[in-house]
């Protein structure tokens, strides 16, 4: 079944769609690329790299995570680690006004505990003080958290259909010094969605996803290979059913 090829796009489109009320005129926000960028159809090699991007993330298993998440009146900065196979993540959250918290999440819910100040790295989860809630897909933060956990896949996409249905190369760039290419991929409606961009390195590893969610700045998720282990989520969160 080939429809799965657009799973991430589908999740992201849901986030984008849920946020468009934030635009003044209700129209789709313009793509955030520079005006000089001129997307063109992907080559066969590019299609194959785009096709394995989520598989490579799955193979990487645990990756360091940074995310900038625009929400109403603020932008949250997340720094942590994500287990892309078990769908569990832990990150330090900094708000725009300098408050700090530790956040853990799964596909079913999130747990938040305030921190006194900026921690030194990723702190061990405390035993108490957590606020555990379910994920609300329409909430911009929760939507972004769900997207983070959906960036890997245990298989490749179909590069022939990516090509046939309009995947595009936008431009070359770098992420943390690594050379990457930026792509638009076909979405659930079989057209590329200019609001979502995939940044893929020369090994085919997905390194960054940008999504215009209707705020002044895009949602930006950056993944970096790491040798560090994932942080286990607290039992209260594990117990949360879907």
Partner 1 sequence: MPARRLAAVVAVALIALAGCSAAPDPEGPSSTSPDGVVRVPEDAATIQEAVDAAAPGDVVEVGPGVYEESVSITTEGLTLRGTDRNDVVIDGGGLRANGVVVTASGVAVENLTVRDHTLNGVLVTGLTEEGGLARGSDGYTRLDPDDYPPLQGFAVRYVTASNNGLYGVYAFDTQHGVIEQSYASGHADSGFYVGQCEDCDIVVRDNVAEFNAIGYEQTNASAPVAVVGNRFTDNRVGASLLSDYQEAFVPQRGTTFAGNLVADNQQASTPEVAYGAFGLGIAVTGGQEDLLRRNLVTGHPVAGIQIGSSEDIPPDGTRVEENELHGNAVDLAYTASARAPGAGLCAAGNTLQTTSPADLLSSWDCTAGGSPRAAGVELPRPAAPSGIPYREVAAPPRQPSMPDDATGVAEAPQVDLDGVAVPSPELFADRARG
Site residues, partner 1 (CB under 8 A)? 1-5, 7, 40-45, 47-49, 51-52, 55, 58-59, 154-156, 158-168, 190-192, 202-204, 225, 227
Cα-trace Rg, the chain = 18
Q: Given the complex with partner 1, which of 202 and 217 has the nearer CB atom?
A: 202
Element holding 66 (H helix, E strand): strand 62-71
Task: Tell me the sheet residues that pair with 175.
Answer: 178
- Cα–Cα distance measured from residue 142 to residue 110, given in angstroms and rounded to the nearest whole number: 8
Nearest approach in angstroms of CB 142 to partner 1 is: 23
For residue 133, what are its two tokens? 């809630």
Place of tokens 């080559």: 43
CA distances from 4 to 13, 62, 91, 154, 190 (A): 14, 23, 28, 11, 12
Task: Tell me the sheet residues that pair with 92.
Answer: 79, 102
- Cα–Cα distance measured from residue 117 to residue 99, given in angstroms and rounded to the nearest whole number: 7
Q: Given the complex with partner 1, which of 98 and 177 has the nearer CB atom?
A: 177
Nearest approach in angstroms of CB 5 to partner 1 is: 8
Direct distance between the N- and C-terminal alpha carbons of the chain, in angstroms, rounded to an integer:
25
Q: Given the complex with partner 1, which of 216 and 227 has the nearer CB atom?
A: 227
Nearest approach in angstroms of CB 27 to partner 1 is: 17
Nearest approach in angstroms of CB 216 to partner 1 is: 27
Q: Given the complex with partner 1, which of 43 and 95 has the nearer CB atom?
A: 43
Q: Given the complex with partner 1, which of 52 and 78 has the nearer CB atom?
A: 52
Q: Given the complex with partner 1, which of 75 and 158 has the nearer CB atom?
A: 158
Nearest approach in angstroms of CB 48 to partner 1 is: 5
User: β-strand 88-94 against 206-211: which pairing, if any?
Assistant: unpaired
């Amino acid at each position: 079944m080939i429809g799965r090829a657009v799973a991430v796009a589908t999740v992201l489109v849901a986030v984008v769609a849920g946020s468009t009320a934030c635009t003044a005129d209700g129209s789709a926000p313009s793509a955030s690329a520079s005006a000089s960028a001129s997307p063109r159809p992907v080559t066969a090699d590019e299609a194959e790299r785009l096709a394995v991007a989520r598989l490579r993330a799955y193979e990487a298993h645990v990756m360091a995570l940074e995310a900038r998440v625009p929400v109403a009146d603020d932008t949250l900065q997340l720094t942590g680690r994500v287990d892309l196979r078990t769908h569990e993540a832990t990150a330090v959250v900094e708000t725009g006004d300098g408050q700090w918290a530790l956040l853990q999440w799964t596909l079913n819910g999130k747990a938040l505990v305030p921190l006194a100040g900026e921690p030194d790295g990723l702190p061990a989860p405390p035993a108490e003080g957590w606020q555990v809630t379910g994920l609300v897909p329409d909430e911009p933060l929760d939507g972004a958290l769900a997207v983070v956990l959906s960036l890997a896949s245990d298989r490749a996409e179909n590069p022939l259909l990516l090509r046939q249905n309009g995947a595009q190369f936008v431009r070359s760039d770098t992420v943390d010094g690594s050379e990457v290419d930026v792509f638009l991929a076909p979405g659930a409606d079989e057209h590329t969605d200019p609001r979502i961009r995939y940044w893929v390195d020369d090994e085919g590893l997905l390194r960054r996803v940008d999504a215009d969610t209707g705020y002044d700045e895009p949602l930006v998720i950056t993944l970096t290979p790491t040798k560090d282990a994932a942080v286990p989520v607290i039992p209260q969160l594990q117990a949360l059913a879907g």
